[in-house]
Every structure is written in C-alpha cells, then in structure tokens.
Amino acid sequence: MIDLIVTNAVVATADAKGTTLEKGGVAVRNGRITHIGNADELAAMQGQAKRVVDASGMLLMPGLINTHCHAASALFRGLVENLKLEPWLETVWKAEAAILNPKTTHLGSVLGFAEQLLGGVTTVMDMFWHPHETVQAGRDVGVRVSTGGIFFDYPGPTGEDHAARLRKAEIFFDTFKGAEDVFAAALPHGTYTVSPEHLQDAWALARKYDALFCTHVAETTAEQQTVTERYGRRIVNHLEDHDLVDDRSVFAHCVHLDDAEIAVLARRGATAVHNPLSNLKLASGFARVPAMLDAGINIALGTDGAVSGNDLDMWLALRLAATVHKAVAMDASVVTTRQALAMATLNGAKALNAADRIGSLEIGKFADMILLDLRRPHAVPMFDAMTHIVYSANKSDVRHVFLGGEQVVRDGRLTRLDIADTLAEAEALIPAIRASII
C-alpha cells in the first residue's frame, strides 16, 4: 500500500543531474519516496494510495536545508543593531547569559524552527546552548535537526567548565544515536574561543561516534588576525595542524580565507557554509565563493541566527548567494543557478553526511518536500523551474510541507502545534530581554 501520492505538480528534484518534470510527482511509503514519475504513471497508482494530493498549480521540490543557524536566538531579534561582529557579540552574549535556560532555549528554538518550517526548511544544523531542548523543539515543530554539545572556553549561559561540557556532549551522542531526525555533532564555537586542546577533545568525541564537527571559521578579519597572532598560523592552517579537518568538518562562514586555506578545505573534503545575509549585515565581508566552487569545495547555505540577520529566510539567503558574487566578480557567469540551488539542498545533505537520505527528491530518500504556489504574478510565465526557485520564489509561496511523508505544514499553518502560545510566551519575555543589555 502507498501512503501518499503527490501529483500534477511541476517537479524540481534538485538531484545531481538537475532533473525536472513539467507535470508529475512522487509516491511515498513508510516515510520514503518509492516512485518519481509523470502524472500519467502516478494516476495508474492512485488506487493503491491512502492519500492523493492534487498539486496542480504548484511546484514540488525537496525541503531546504539550513546548514548554519542559531534558532533560539530568535528571542533576541532586533536587539543589537549597527555593530560589527565583535562588539555585537559582547552585547548578545550578555543578553544570553541573563535570559537563557533550558525552558527559554526550547521556547526560542520553537520560534525559530516554526519560522523556518513555514518557509520550507525541513532540516537545520543548529549551534546553540541546551541541545536536548533544541531537539525537542525540532520534534515539536516538525524539522530534522543537526546539533549537539557546545564547546566554549568561558562559562557562557550554562556556567559550565570544559569537563562538564564534554560529559554532556557524550550524553547527547548516546541519547540520540540512531535517531532518524537527529544528525549529532560536536560544535565548538570557534578557534578564538576554544583552545587547541579543547578543540581536539571535541574532535575526538565526534570521531568516537562517527559524527560531525562544526565550528565558526574566519568570519571576520579580526577573528583571523586574533588566531594568527595567538598561534602563528591562519585559522584553517591552525585547524589542519591539529588534524581537525576532514569530510565530516562543517565550517561556518569561511569569509576570509586565502588560497592556501581554500586548498586545505578542498584537499580534506570539508564543507564551507555560506551565510550571505549575516555577513552583509554585520559588515563581515564577502566570502570567496567562486574560488571555493572552482576548487571543488562543498558549499552549503545558512541563515545564521535571527539576531544577526533578523530573519531565518533561506530564500533570501539563496538569492543573495546566487547574485552577490556576480557583482563582486563583475562576472554574471559565476555561481550558476544549479550551483546556488545545490547549496540549499543537496550540498547541505552532503555536509550532514546524509545525502543518501535527504537533499533531493530521489527514490529511497525521506519524503522531505515542499509545495510552492505557482498561481502568483511573480510565477507566471515560468520558463525554467530552477530559475524560478533561485531568483523568484520566496517563503510566502510555501503552501505545504512534508517531513518523511507527514504533512507538517498545511496551507501555510503548522500541523503539530498551535504557534499562538509560543508567540505569547516570547512576547512576555520582552521586558526582561530589553533590561538584560541596559
């Protein structure tokens, strides 16, 4: 028996070949895609299906993957403005220390994940305090989450030392081992906030569990200068010298890399996560995305936190990734449509070591998929589905979202929870949040 058929849609599979269908869809059983084909093929199968969704006037594609986020920082959206990263961080960390605990982290994560799911994001790599609460928030809303133990050489909001954080990180790995909706990781904040010894501890733990290793890398010139002066090596060289770079390494931002550092990432198979909106707003600079693409580096896409970019809009991040570098290079051929789309889909899956399960509509993968409304003035006429996705579509076009075949957004509304209570709780925190930075 087939659990679900979605048919009569324009289909953009986002697979490695860029396969599209003018009128077709997918069949789903036990949460995974069992068939992809045209509408006539699917019509012959409808008698075997428990549910059929007529997606006429819509575009079917995989859910987006946000490979760098701090979802719970949605609580601090708009709190700190018009500063570069370093002074901005000092104020943000002050607010976090005053406000964050397991309960408020869960609240902020629900808020951030809800925004993303309603915008078509089905998987998020999230770096934040209290990762157990982050996972629970993801399950409450209906997204897959990559997260895990945070490492930071200062007390931070949790007031813990390194030994305690190491123990908690191991508990996280043990708790979520084998979970289909959790991609576990060790997440040290950065090379300027975590010592080489503690970075190596995080790495060793990640390798023990065959898990991911994620950290911020070269987001600003000040960060690059700090690490270079402290250790005598640039950031990526510092990481490589401690054997902390391989195909399970996910490095956020990578704005200020030289040719030698780009070569290291390419040789070692690491992922660079591009966060164009946050980099623009915090005046961090322009990542060398065309050079990294030319080197063969896997580049994924992220929003960063809502406190730095003021939204968690992957469609805006996608369009910026596809356009900004053309202007910087003064070359309209750099960052092609297919390359940009891959950053938000299949490349994100590769970064999470999950390309066999998510990132594209292919037989055997999870049915994590979204339907975009094409009955909009900005969608007519549409000559190419991928061009529309990258340059014209936006989060308000997302009508339906499926996670493993379960419909988690229906007609623009969450199905697992009523977001009204979350909004009220977040609003009630405003006075305390505002007072935290005075």
Instruction: List, for residues 111-140, the tens digit of each pLDDT value.
Output: 999 999 999 999 999 999 999 999 999 999
Co-location of 142 and 232 in the same domain:
yes
pLDDT in tens, 11-60: 999 999 999 999 999 999 999 999 999 999 999 999 999 999 999 999 99
Structure confidence at residue 191 (pLDDT): 98
Same-domain check for residues 287 and 390? no
Output the pLDDT for position 182.
98
pLDDT at 81: 86
What mean pLDDT do residues 412-425 have?
A: 97
Instruction: Compute how many other C-beta atoms are within 10 angstroms of the C-beta atom of residue 100.
Output: 23
For the chain, the domain total comes to 2
The reply to whether 311 and 377 lie within a common domain is no
Residues 395 and 333 in one domain: no
- What is the structure's pLDDT at 84? 78
8 Å CB contact between 271 and 251: yes
Residue 244 in this model has a pLDDT that exceeds 90: yes
**What was the pLDDT predicted at 170?**
98
Q: What are the tens digits of pLDDT across the range 185-210?
A: 999 999 999 999 999 999 999 999 99
**Per-residue CA distances from 117 to 2, 25, 335 (Å):** 25, 21, 26
Identify whether residues 205 and 345 lie together within a single domain.
yes
Q: Are residues 284 and 182 in the same domain?
A: yes
Residue 317 structure tokens: 């991040």
434 inside domain: no
| Among 200, 289, 286, residue whose Cα is nearest residue 245 | 200
Tell me whether residue 231 is in a domain.
yes
- Rounded to whole angstroms, the Cα distance separating 179 from 144 reads 10
Q: How confident is the model at residue 309 (pLDDT cuts 50, 70, 90)?
A: confident
Return the pLDDT at 82: 87
Q: What is the CATH number of the domain that holds 337?
A: 3.20.20.140
The CATH number assigned to the domain holding 31 equals 2.30.40.10
Residue among 56, 47, 44, 48 nearest 6 (CA): 56
pLDDT (average), residues 352-359: 98
The Cα 114–Cα 420 span in angstroms is 11
Band the pLDDT of 92: cuts 50, 70, 90.
confident
Q: What does the pLDDT average to over 298-317?
A: 95
Three-state secondary structure of the chain: CECEEEEEEEEECCCCCCCEEEEEEEEEECCEEEEEEEHHHHHCCHHHECCEEECCCEEEEECEEEEEECHHHHHHCCCCCCCCHHHHHHHHHHHHHHHCCHHHHHHHHHHHHHHHHHCCEEEEEECCCCHHHHHHHHHHHCCEEECEEEECCCCCCCCCCHHHHHHHHHHHHHHHCCCCCECCEEEECECCCCCHHHHHHHHHHHHHCCCEEEEEECCCHHHHHHHHHHHCCCHHHHHHHCCCCCCCEEEEECCCCCHHHHHHHHHHCCEEEECHHHHHHCCCCCCCHHHHHHCCCEEEECCCCHHHHCCCCHHHHHHHHHHHHHHHHCCCCCCCHHHHHHHHCHHHHHHCCCCCCCCCCCCCCECCEEEEECCCHHHCCCCCHHHHHHHCCCHHHEEEEEECCEEEEECCEECCCCHHHHHHHHHHCHHHHHHCCC
Assess if residue 438 is contained within a domain.
no
Instruction: Tell me the C-alpha to C-alpha distance, in Å, between residue 402 and each of 32, 192, 271, 382.
Output: 11, 39, 27, 24
Contact 88, 284 (CB under 8 A): no
Over the chain, what is the mean pLDDT? Answer: 97
How many degrees, rounded to 5, is the angle at CA 245 between CA 239 and CA 247? 165
Q: What is the pLDDT of residue 151?
A: 98
Which tokens is 18 given? 């860029």
Q: What is the pLDDT of residue 52?
A: 98
Phi, psi of 323 (to 5 degrees): -115, -40
Residue pLDDT, tens place only, 249-276: 999 999 999 999 999 999 999 999 999 9
Identify whether residues 22 and 141 lie together within a single domain. no
Rounded to whole angstroms, the Cα distance separating 246 from 264 reads 9
The reply to whether 227 and 320 lie within a common domain is yes
Asked if residue 312 is part of any domain, the answer here is yes
Q: What is the pLDDT of residue 47?
A: 93
User: Quick check: 74 pLDDT over 80?
Assistant: yes
Q: Which of 296, 319, 351 is at the close of a domain?
A: 351
319 shares its domain with 170: yes
**Residue 435 counted as domain residue:** no
Say yes or no to pLDDT of 93 above 90: no
Confidence tier at 412 by pLDDT (50, 70, 90):
very high
**Residue 310 maps to a domain:** yes
Query: Based on the domain organization, do 50 and 72 belong to the same domain?
Result: no
Q: Tell me the C-alpha distance between 371 and 55, whole Å.
A: 8
Do 401 and 366 contact (CB within 8 A), yes or no? Answer: no
Whether residue 31 sits in one domain with residue 140: no
Segment 319-327 mean pLDDT = 98
Does the pLDDT of residue 438 top 90, yes or no? Answer: no
- Residue 275, domain member (yes or no): yes
CB 119 within 8 A of CB 313: yes
Per-residue CA distances from 420 to 76, 259, 288, 304 (Å): 18, 49, 41, 25
Q: What is the predicted pLDDT for the residue at 431?
A: 95
CA 213/CA 230 separation, integer angstroms: 22
pLDDT band at 334 (very low <50, low <70, confident <90, very high): very high
Domain region containing 393? 4-62+365-414
Q: Can you tell me the distance from the alpha carbon of 78 to that of 1, in angstroms, rounded to the nearest whole number?
A: 49
> 30 and 100 share a domain?
no
Give how far the C-alpha of residue 197 lies from the chain's centroid of Cα atoms, to the nearest Å: 28
Please report the pLDDT score of residue 187 as a whole number. 98
| Residue 436 lies inside a defined structural domain of this protein | no
Residue 116 contacts residue 135 (beta carbons within 8 Å): no
pTM, to two decimals: 0.98
Has residue 85 got a pLDDT over 80? no
